[in-house]
Amino acid sequence: MPKPIYVLSGPNLNLLGTREPEIYGHQTLDDVRGLCEARAQSLGFEVVFRQSNHEGDLVDWIQEAREAACAVVLNPAAYGHTSIALLDALKMLSIPIVECHLSNPAAREAFRRKTYVSLAATGVVSGFGAASYELAVEAAAGLAR
54 classed as catalytic: no
| From 26, 54, 81, 101, active-site residue | 101
Buried b / exposed e over 73-94, threshold 16 CB at 10 Å, is bbbbbbbbbebeebbebbeebe
79 classed as catalytic: no
- State the CB neighbour count (10 A cutoff) for residue 133: 29
Is 70 within 8 Å of 3 (Cβ atoms)?
A: yes
| From 6, 24, 116, 133, active-site residue | 24
Residues recognised as catalytic: 24, 101
